Amino acid sequence: MTDKNLQLATFAGGCFWCMVKPFDEMPGIEKVVSGYTGGDTENPTYQEVVTNTTGHREAVQITFDPEIFPYEKLLTLYWQQIDPTDPGGQFHDRGESYKTAIYYHNEEQKEMAEASKKILEESGRFSKPIVTDILPAKTFYPAESYHQKYYEKNPDHYNRYYKGSGRKGFIEENWVMEKDEKALRQALNDMQYNVTQENGTEPPFQNEFWNNERDGIYVDIVSGEPLFSSKDQYDAGCGWPSFTKPLHSTRIKEKKDLSHYMVRTEVRSKFGDSHLGHVFNDGPGENVLRYCINSAALRFIPKENLEEEGYGEYKQLFD
């Protein structure tokens, strides 16, 4: 590496098309490359790898700054993209080339990967064994150019594949936060509970963040997952906090909402599964969206508190 602060992480998680976007959106990630690793065939092609005879697996290699986005967070994000109990591939894609693996680049990464896997095993989230391999990194061969950043080059096909392969449904079903209703009722006030758990809507102009002008990020009040930045907030005149985009498109999910005799697109947090609000096509500018979000679904973390609250990777947004 030319910069001593940058490190490599390599993960196999099935089809590499689906393993780029979740990491690409994160702060501190310099580059995500799709490719092949784990085997002994030099300079393999895609057609060779998918025959499952080269020993290679589809993988992504991530160049990251550990001071901004540490390896432990990469591991957490990795687990949330895969079915770690599948010994024969991932979702629609079967065979050796689609099996999951964490390829460690040094002993520290190996120890962290093994500890992370053990935590997942002991969590009870899955009833089946965790079978993801933890292996020493080998030569990584970048895939053909048309595979790189496929989600950007072919978004429609990517979205159909992400859903049709079964990955999207598996993640939304198995990586949702387990909730304790009694604990939530104690932790949230009546409005927060009604909005996040019962799809309620708070009054306009009578909520905490509709006219916030401080710098910081907004996280799901239930799960703590980062959702929006004040840098993307604007006054839409509607009386609710409005944003032109989320911090990470992979951290939210959209659902068709037919309630109140209207056709709308509901926005929910991915892992907390909290109702947040709705997204509309009338943002400030051509082809700009308006995410109209309830303050009651959010917790605001000022930029000066990001480090101590565990969101230090987002400080660079406000430098």
Q: Which of 60, 292, 296, 297 is catalytic?
A: 292
- How far is Cα 55 from Cα 41, in angstroms, rounded to an integer? 8
Looking at this protein, which amino acid is placed at residue 273? D
Beta-carbon-side half-sphere exposure of residue 174 (alpha carbons within 13 Å) = 20
d(CA 191, CA 194): 5
- The residues pairing with 255 across neighbouring beta strands, listed in sequence order, are 266
Q: By the 8 A CB rule, do 79 and 116 touch? A: yes
Separation between Cα atoms, residue 267 and residue 246, nearest integer Å = 10
CB contact at 8 A, 264 and 276? no
Residue reference for tokens 């790898």: 49
Give the tokens for residue 224: 């703590």
Is 292 tagged catalytic?
A: yes
Look up residue 183 and give its two tokens. Answer: 């604990």
Is residue 238 annotated as a catalytic residue, yes or no? no
Residue 119 to residue 295: CA distance in whole angstroms: 33
* Residues 55, 157 contacting (CB under 8 angstroms): no
Q: How many CA atoms lie within 13 A of 213 on its CB side?
A: 0
Query: How many Å separate Cα 177 from the centre of its chain?
Result: 14
Annotated catalytic residue, options 15, 18, 29, 82 = 15
The residue type of 169 is G
Q: Where are the extended beta strands (E) located within the chain? A: 7-13, 29-37, 57-64, 89-90, 93-94, 100-104, 133-136, 141-142, 216-220, 226-229, 233-234, 242-243, 252-257, 264-269, 275-280, 290-293, 298-302
Residues annotated as part of the active site: 15, 292
